[in-house]
Chain A
Amino acid sequence: KNQVEQSPQSLIILEGKNCTLQCNYTVSPFSNLRWYKQDTGRGPVSLTIMTFSENTKSNGRYTATLDADTKQSSLHITASQLSDSASYICVVSAGYSSASKIIFGSGTRLSIRP
């Protein structure tokens, strides 16, 4: 069964600190993995996309890693800011045809405290 699990479910850190969010997946055949940021009351916004051959990708203070062997991904946030408070969603695509599936994780709710 294709699944995407994220941890922790929620996280509170102080402004300026770093943090790492985890994503484990059991998806086959793997196509790509994306991290989205969803602010409260808004739609998700793409942060990074990684395919099988990529093991790291950065977008400003966000760095995503992918280990296709262990089927794990992480999203590292450096020098957190108050605006980083949001839900972070890991999304994995399975298959390469037009009928490929998109599986969403339940997200990690990140709160940055001043």
Chain B
Amino acid sequence: DTAVSQTPKYLVTQMGNDKSIKCEQNLGHDTMYWYKQDSKKFLKIMFSYNNKELIINETVPNRFSPKSPDKAHLNLHINSLELGDSAVYFCASSQVRTRGETQYFGPGTRLLVL
């Protein structure tokens, strides 16, 4: 009964490929996020979705596109993968993005672009 789950856990692929990472939460939260953690372990928010509406897009390349089929899912699609995309990608969710709200993180997807 994992709260926030991501698939796959590991993803190794060639430059130029297109890949997707899936995220699901069973907490009933209405806001979901995608974060990128680089090799220096610095977490940076990429996207936030509230009620199927994008409310944050932190100047990430347009090769990255979040897709939310419903409130419980927020998938991340990446086109034309580049070496610099190698990182750990975390999905998170929270209930209404107000002050003091806790985000629950998934286990992460380790992406390696060769």
Chain B interface bracket (under 10, 10 to 19, 20 to 34, 35 or more): 20 to 34
Residues of B within 8 A of A43 (CB): 4, 90, 92, 105-108
Of B42, B99, B106, the contact of A106 (CB 8 Å cutoff): B42
Asked whether, in the complex, the Cβ of A89 is within 8 Å of the Cβ of B43, the reply is: yes
> CB of B14 within 8 A of chain A?
no
Of B42, B56, B105, B108, the contact of A45 (CB 8 Å cutoff): B105
Closest to B4 in A: A43
Asked whether, in the complex, the Cβ of B41 is within 8 Å of the Cβ of A34, the reply is: no
B17 to chain A, nearest CB (A): 24
> CB of A102 within 8 A of chain B?
yes
Interface 0/1 of A31-53, CB less than 8 Å to B: 11010000001111110010100
Most buried by A among B55, B92, B103: B103
